[in-house]
């Protein structure tokens, strides 16, 4: 914590170590019908919900700078399509480009009440063994942010968690069955949310 607090200030209160690095990287998934997936004889997961939301680009035009409507809209649409409530989601990969993003997203998708996500994170609720594991991959600040590959990399992590093959001691306990991937662009003016489930 001291290292982050003493790192170069970027935009108060965010320091350089609060920000994800932009990196090179790649990720890939195969998307097909369930019929084809069954024929392949390999582990697969189902996409049961998709949602897209948009909002104004300029932060100054938003009613509240700590709330990004696109995240809420995308999550609501994905949950509705999947026939789920946020309480049904067992873990999530979130676009944590800055330390504050995970807090804001957790509240925007309805997982934590406004002003409560920070406390929940500090209490360990979003840790691998917590009640709502978040960014088991390490998130963008840990693994880097390869921009175009970031969203697909989130889906890869959800796949690994749902099929029980996450490496390096980051497998979420108790074999989760339902996960969420949340991604966004720019200032949060656009967002996607996918609900994925064990086949």
Spatial contact of 193 and 70, defined as CB atoms under 8 Å apart: no
Assigned domain for 14 exists: no
Assigned domain for 16 exists: no
Assigned domain for 2 exists: no
Residue 183 belongs to domain with CATH number: 3.40.47.10
Tens of pLDDT, residues 60-82:
888 887 889 999 999 999 999 99
Q: What is the extent of the structural domain holding 80?
A: 23-198
Task: Look at the chain and report how many structural domains it folds into.
Answer: 1
User: Exposed, middle or buried, 61 (CB in 10 Å: 0-12/13-18/19+)?
Assistant: exposed
Its pTM stands at: 0.94
Q: Please, how many CA atoms are within 13 Å of residue 52, restricted to the half-sphere of its CB?
A: 2
CA distance 150 to 138: 12
Assigned domain for 6 exists: no
Spatial contact of 170 and 51, defined as CB atoms under 8 Å apart: no
Assigned domain for 179 exists: yes
Q: Which helix (H) or strand (E) holds 158?
A: helix 150-162
Tens of pLDDT, residues 101-153:
999 999 999 999 999 999 999 999 999 999 999 999 999 988 889 988 999 99
Assigned domain for 104 exists: yes
pLDDT at residue 1, rounded to an integer: 86
Assigned domain for 92 exists: yes
Assigned domain for 191 exists: yes
């Amino acid at each position: 914590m001291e290292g982050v607090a003493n790192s170069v200030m970027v935009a108060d209160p965010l320091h350089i170590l609060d920000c994800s690095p932009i990196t090179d990287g790649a990720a890939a998934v195969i998307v097909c019908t369930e019929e084809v997936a069954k024929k392949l004889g390999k582990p697969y997961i189902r996409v049961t919900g998709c949602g897209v939301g948009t909002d104004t680009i300029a932060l100054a035009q938003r009613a509240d700078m700590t709330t990004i409507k696109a995240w809420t809209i995308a999550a609501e649409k994905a949950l509705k399509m999947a026939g789920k409530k946020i309480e049904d989601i067992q873990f999530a990969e979130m676009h944590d480009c800055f330390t504050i993003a995970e807090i804001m997203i957790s509240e925007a998708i309805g997982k934590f009440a406004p002003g409560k996500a920070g406390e929940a994170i500090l209490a360990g609720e979003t840790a691998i063994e917590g009640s709502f594991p978040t960014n088991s991959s390490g998130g963008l600040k840990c693994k880097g942010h390869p921009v175009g590959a970031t969203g697909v990399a989130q889906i890869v992590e959800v796949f690994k968690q749902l099929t029980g093959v996450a490496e390096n001691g980051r497998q979420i306990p108790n074999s989760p069955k339902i996960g969420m991937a949340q991604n966004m662009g720019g200032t949060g003016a656009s967002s996607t949310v996918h609900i994925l489930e064990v086949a």
